[in-house]
Amino acid sequence: MEPGSVDNLSVVYQSSDFLVVNKHWDLRIDSKTWRETLTLQKQLRHRFPELADPDTCYGFRFCHQLDFSTSGALCVALNKAAAGSAYRCFKERRVTKAYLALAVKTPSRASRSSCCWNTDRTRETPYPRCC
């Protein structure tokens, strides 16, 4: 996969309330420091300058976080009401998040195994389990 750039923002879904983008690996979501040459915030400002909200700290209302090295779908609320709705969904655990980790082994150590993580702590299996 090619390194992230200001131009390669992948949009997964867009409505009047939400924007879901595919966050690139090794990319910060936002930053107040000038040292960060590229962030998701800068990609969004470049692609959607009309959606930036000057009343927010970073210009966009990120509904959740992904780690710096993690790639995947990230939801951005485009107005206060949508942000409030998303916040309640996360707080009330009406949102399910799933993580898939891909690991590469050398051919001599290759084996078939997979792990499943249950991110909903209210279910019977609260910890990672191997399938």
Can you give the pLDDT at residue 37?
80
Residue 1 confidence (pLDDT): 60
15: closest CA among 61, 80, 76, 98? 76
> Of residues 17, 26, 67, 120, which has the active-site annotation?
67
Residue 17: active-site member: no
**pLDDT, tens only, 72-90:** 999 999 999 999 999 999 8
For 8, other C-beta atoms within 10 Å of its C-beta total 13
List pLDDT tens digits, range 97-122. 787 777 777 665 545 555 555 555 54
Per-residue confidence (pLDDT) for residue 115, from 0 to 100: 52
% of the chain exceeding 70 in pLDDT: 77
Best CA proximity match to 75, nearest among 40, 45, 42: 40
